[in-house]
Structure 1
Amino acid sequence: MRPKVTIIGAGMVGSTTAQYLAQRNIADIVLVDIVENLPQGKALDLLEAGPVLGYDCAVVGANDYDATANSDVIVITSGSPRKPGMSRDDLLRVNMNIVKSVTEQAAPRSPDAVIVVVTNPLDAMCHVALETSGFPASRVVGQAGVLDSARFRTFIAMELDVSPRDVTAFVLGGHGDTMVPLPRYSTMAGIPITHLLSKERIDAIVERTRDGGGEIVRLLGTSAYYAPAASVAEMVEAILLDQNRILPCSAYLQGQYGIDGLYVGVPVKLGAGGIKQVIEIELTDEERAALHRSAGAVRELVEAMRQL
């Protein structure tokens, strides 16, 4: 019997995640959305691509949660983007209520699942999913660092004119303007980029990485979806195949890095059952201060939610 992955939200991120997972052929997929016929149509379209692309997993669309029962992984992509005139608190309230609602419906049907949160503001929404589901913190993880690191790797590879496959990159902290790319731990074929690029060029790449999502919005008029979906698929694959991948994810810290009781992006060992270990790396005083500033911004969001 194949593993089952439920993807809540059949928008561009959710449906593209379903596409990437179907192409991996490692799980049956349930695509859920409140819009009638939308998940059913997208699921059927994906199913009909199977004979051409060579996958034979089941892909089902649904407007309720009965089909999601006994999922191994639940991916939450549903939520509202920030619209003109909408304050931060407005966005927090809307997406907090959405994540709470979908978690209330999905978690009891799949009590052993790992929840992967994608909805923004990401780190704050992880807290909502954790508290609503009642799952152990190891089974609620946020997708952020994989995407941020992919953007960092892309820009480094473009600057050096090399394949991004030969670039590794580290990004810590909250998913947003306060993220903390770490050039010291970022390499090209094992060579630190600090040996290959000037501080000015590295600083420019770091700033472009922090603005990676905003740059896409300015170009497309909508949020990114290819790279976020690819990042989710990589995490889901690590969980389902118990790969013990070391990936940067939003994880609930309990004293690591001097941060307690908060979801923050850090490297973790990801495999069956979710987060197996938070990896602590040595930071300079400046890097640690930047990480704590980023954590502080996340904490402000969490505290703001409690007032809503």
Structure 2
Amino acid sequence: MTSSAVPPNRIAVIGGGGNVGAAAAFALIAKGVPAEVLIVDVVDKAAQGQALDISDASFLKPGTCRKASFQEAGQSDVIIVTAGARQQPGEPRSNLIERNYKIIKSIMDSMQPIKPSAKVLMVSNPVDVLTHIAQKASGLPVNQVIGSGTFLDSGRLRNTLSEITGVSPSSVHAYMLGEHGDNQFTGWSAARIGGRPLLDHPKMQGVDLDSINEKIMRKAYDIIDAKGSTYFGIGICAATLAEALLNNTSQVFPVVNFVEKYGCYMSWPAAIGASGVEQAFDVPVNAAEAKKLEVAVNAIKEACAKYD
């Protein structure tokens, strides 16, 4: 710890000894989030090493970083879960469910009793299903347990559309929806730039929309094939969501949240704040998108049913 005062708010990163967890923890410090960041991992030496390294980056920022126990994590304001089996090159995220179920259940049991006001942010894959599992195992209300969902996928989409249109990614309002996995789809019907439909933009005329969708879906596989895993992009996404939960920003993100209309956890836009999910939104979809949404919802429900 490099600061004379420990911040009053606490964010725990479970699996912080690994690449994704360390990237999220570092992003929290680099973003200047005023919180005590706890690194928790079953590999104690890895947790210690990451905590020491990240704490060296905190002397210019208001946050602090240290290694901690699962019990301390359970009493944190925000709990980011990145632990789990790693996706192998070419492996669909759905294959990870069985391997990660026991890990997530063990983590939630190890943190008990979990602080009643805590918010859990799942990052481990397949995140839609594991968020469902984490909510059941944690005992927290559904609005307090969310997942990173298609936030990163939507960022990839916005970057791609920015390159095509010449408009800043922050001004492109478009989402990947349904599932953070092979059943995700682009919500073209709801996409907007400057309040106008994205597809009406002159530079979008004649663009192959299916190829864009495929590019976004395949990017993670390309990164995994090239370097073994993805962590910088998802790290900044996790830190941004944790910051929103901690600071009650009520920003809208495409995250895994329980959508009453469809009766399951899924990747869908929601306003995130101090209570977790503050508001849910009914995103318009056309007939083709509705069919893709049905496929995604059914796949998530089928997988979740095995763990109820």
TM-score normalised to structure 1 length:
0.89
- Contact 1:89 1:304 (8 Å CA) reproduced: no
Partner of 2:135: 130
Secondary structure of the structure 1 residue equivalent to 2:208: helix
The 5 Å alignment of 1:1-308 reads: 2-10=8-16, 11-23=18-30, 24-51=32-59, 54-62=60-68, 64-83=69-88, 91-196=96-201, 197-198=204-205, 200-220=207-227, 222-254=228-260, 256=261, 259-260=262-263, 262-305=264-307
Q: CA shift at 1:186, angstroms?
A: 2.3
Cα root mean square deviation, aligned: 2.1
1:89 to 1:178, Cα distance in 2 relative to 1, 3 A: closer
Deviation string 1:265-291 (CA, Å, 9 cap, x unpaired) is: 111111001001211122222222211
- Contact 1:68 1:110 (8 Å CA) reproduced: no
State the distance in 2 between where 1:87 and 1:154 align. Answer: 24
State the distance in 2 between where 1:50 and 1:8 align. Answer: 19
State the distance in 2 between where 1:263 and 1:305 align. Answer: 13
- Contact 1:73 1:113 (8 Å CA) reproduced: yes
- Contact 1:50 1:56 (8 Å CA) reproduced: yes
- Contact 2:10 2:37 (8 Å CA) reproduced: yes
Runs of 4 or more consecutive aligned structure 1 residues displaced over 6 Å after TM superposition? 84-90
Q: CA shift at 1:199, angstroms?
A: 5.0
Q: CA shift at 1:89, angstroms?
A: 7.8
Deviation string 1:54-107 (CA, Å, 9 cap, x unpaired) is: 213221113x32332521111110000234898988632220000111111225
Q: CA shift at 1:19, angstroms?
A: 0.6
- Contact 2:20 2:234 (8 Å CA) reproduced: yes
- Contact 1:114 1:274 (8 Å CA) reproduced: yes
State the distance in 2 between where 1:188 and 1:174 align. Answer: 24
1:90 to 1:215, Cα distance in 2 relative to 1, 3 A: closer
- Contact 1:143 1:231 (8 Å CA) reproduced: yes
Secondary structure of the structure 2 residue equivalent to 1:111: coil
State the distance in 2 between where 1:103 and 1:36 align. Answer: 18
State the distance in 1 between where 2:237 and 2:92 align. Answer: 28
- Contact 1:92 1:305 (8 Å CA) reproduced: no
State the distance in 2 between where 1:187 and 1:232 align. Answer: 25
State the distance in 2 between where 1:149 and 1:12 align. Answer: 21
1:138 to 1:199, Cα distance in 2 relative to 1, 3 A: farther
Q: Which runs of 5+ in 1 are unaligned?
A: none
1:88 to 1:282, Cα distance in 2 relative to 1, 3 A: closer
Secondary structure of the structure 1 residue equivalent to 2:13: strand
- Contact 1:107 1:113 (8 Å CA) reproduced: no
1:192 to 1:84, Cα distance in 2 relative to 1, 3 A: closer
Amino acid corresponding to residue 249 of structure 1 in structure 2: V
Q: CA shift at 1:189, angstroms?
A: 4.0
- Contact 1:178 1:293 (8 Å CA) reproduced: yes
TM-score normalised to structure 2 length:
0.89
